[in-house]
Amino acid sequence: MGPTASGKTDLAMAIADRLPVALISVDSALVYRGLDLGSAKPTAQELVRYPHCLIDICEPSESYSAGRFYADALLAMDEISAAGKIPLLVGGTMLYFRALLQGLAALPRADTQVRADIEARAEREGWPALHAELVRVDPELAAELHPNHSARIERGLEVYRLTGVPLSRLRREQTGGGVQERYQLHQLAIMPRDRALLHQRIEVRFKRMLKAGLVEEVRGLRARGDLHGDLPAMRAVGYRQVWQYLEGHCGYDEMVAAGIAATRQLAKRQLTWLRRWPALATLYTQDAEGRERAQEEIVAEALKFLA
């Protein structure tokens, strides 16, 4: 696991060259077909050589959840193990990792009317106002979230309105079933020592995505006719900003700056998760003097962690 643009996929594929592993994606954007460039999805050629479970498994018109991931990932892990290989999970969606490790709480299903009410208020007052409400009813969950993290703010308020109980409390009262009850785990995070380097990598990668055709990719998604900007897939970092640009809400340069800023915010949230993560070995992509390490050295160290 690790922040966006830290080199997780490259490391996982390098490990696959050396150990009998099969890869499982832990990424809330890679599940969607058609979200290729902006999600940093492995190329078609890479997927032929290094197949990943849980990539391209649903349409962007659908909603994919931590609950679905939990079931899909456990099934994939069991199938990989039955075939005599080791499941290697790679990605940066920390909520999915936590669901897999700790199991799932007994939560109410989504309620269309409650969500419509919450979204109508967000349209009038903005998501920071709803985040402030979440601070009052579920301060523990609110502390984890950026004031514009619309999907999770909405879910936290929805659960509280439906149950009268904070989502954070329900999570503590898990129903069990975490993967640690069935597998021996090795948990490894890859990240730079210097956040400035990560920011630089994020900017370079986002501009590379645009040069490769990200705007055209989103234009094609909009042309399908069954998608809109409030779908979880279209709220993914990068896609949301390009969608707004194509709708005329901002200029090109503003879109580029917003996309880079949103990706940096995502990385900040991921790093916050990782700093609190128990039993986690950390693999740095820079040495103590801040110089980038060679890929071979990073892979060799990772293999020592996994031995």
Summarize pLDDT for 98-140 with one digit per residue, the tens: 999 988 777 888 899 999 999 999 999 999 999 999 999 999 9
Whether 296 is covered by a domain: the verdict is yes
What is the rounded distance in angstroms from the CA atom of residue 60 to the CA atom of residue 219? 14
Residues 163 and 295 in one domain: no
* The token pair that represents 275 in the structure block: 């700093």
Whether 245 is covered by a domain: the verdict is yes
Residues 218 and 276 in one domain: yes
Q: 243 by DSSP, 3-state: which?
A: helix
Mean pLDDT of all residues belonging to the chain: 93
Residues 83 and 213 in one domain: yes
Whether 2 is covered by a domain: the verdict is no
Residues 41 and 15 in one domain: yes
Residues 117 and 194 in one domain: no
Residues 146 and 285 in one domain: no
Task: Find how far residue 266's CA is from the centre of its chain.
Answer: 9
What is the rounded distance in angstroms from the CA atom of residue 116 to the CA atom of residue 123? 10
Which pLDDT value is given to residue 174? 62
CB under 8 A, 24+ apart: contacts of 206-214 = 206/238, 206/256, 206/259, 206/260, 206/263, 207/256, 209/37, 209/38, 209/40, 209/238, 210/256, 212/37, 213/37, 214/37, 214/38, 214/238, 214/242
pLDDT bin (cut points 50, 70, 90) of residue 176 is low
Beta bridge partners of 53: 24
Residues 294 and 230 in one domain: yes
Whether 1 is covered by a domain: the verdict is no
- Nearest-CA neighbor of 40 among 3, 1, 5? 5
Give yes or no for residue 244 having a pLDDT over 90: yes
What is the rounded distance in angstroms from the CA atom of residue 14 to the CA atom of residue 12? 5
Whether 3 is covered by a domain: the verdict is no
Residues 204 and 268 in one domain: yes
Residues 283 and 141 in one domain: no
Which pLDDT value is given to residue 180? 82
Which pLDDT value is given to residue 295? 93
Residues 239 and 280 in one domain: yes
Average pLDDT over residues 248-262: 98
Residues 227 and 91 in one domain: yes
Domain containing 287 — which CATH number?
Answer: 3.40.50.300
Among 172, 189, 223, the domain boundary falls at 172
Q: Residue 173 carries which side chain, given as an amino acid letter?
A: E
Whether 67 is covered by a domain: the verdict is yes
Whether 48 is covered by a domain: the verdict is yes
Beta bridge partners of 286: 292
Which pLDDT value is given to residue 139? 94
Q: What is the pLDDT of residues 20-75, one digit of tens each?
A: 999 999 999 999 999 999 999 999 999 999 999 999 999 999 988 888 899 899 99
- Nearest-CA neighbor of 256 among 236, 270, 241, 266? 241
Among 137, 153, 172, the domain boundary falls at 172
Among 172, 188, 212, the domain boundary falls at 172
Domain containing 162 — which CATH number?
Answer: 1.10.20.140
Beta bridge partners of 89: 24
Which pLDDT value is given to residue 106? 74
Whether 249 is covered by a domain: the verdict is yes
Average pLDDT over residues 242-269: 97
Question: Which domain does 118 fall in, by range?
Answer: 112-172
Helices (H), the chain: 8-16, 44-49, 66-82, 94-102, 112-125, 127-137, 139-144, 150-163, 167-172, 195-212, 214-223, 239-246, 252-275, 295-306
**Number of domains within the chain:** 2
Residues 167 and 183 in one domain: no
Which pLDDT value is given to residue 75? 92
Q: Which residue has the higher pLDDT, 64 or 238?
A: 238
Which pLDDT value is given to residue 175? 59
Give yes or no for residue 85 having a pLDDT over 90: yes
User: What is the number of other CB atoms lying within 10 angstroms of the CB of residue 178?
Assistant: 19
Which pLDDT value is given to residue 230? 85
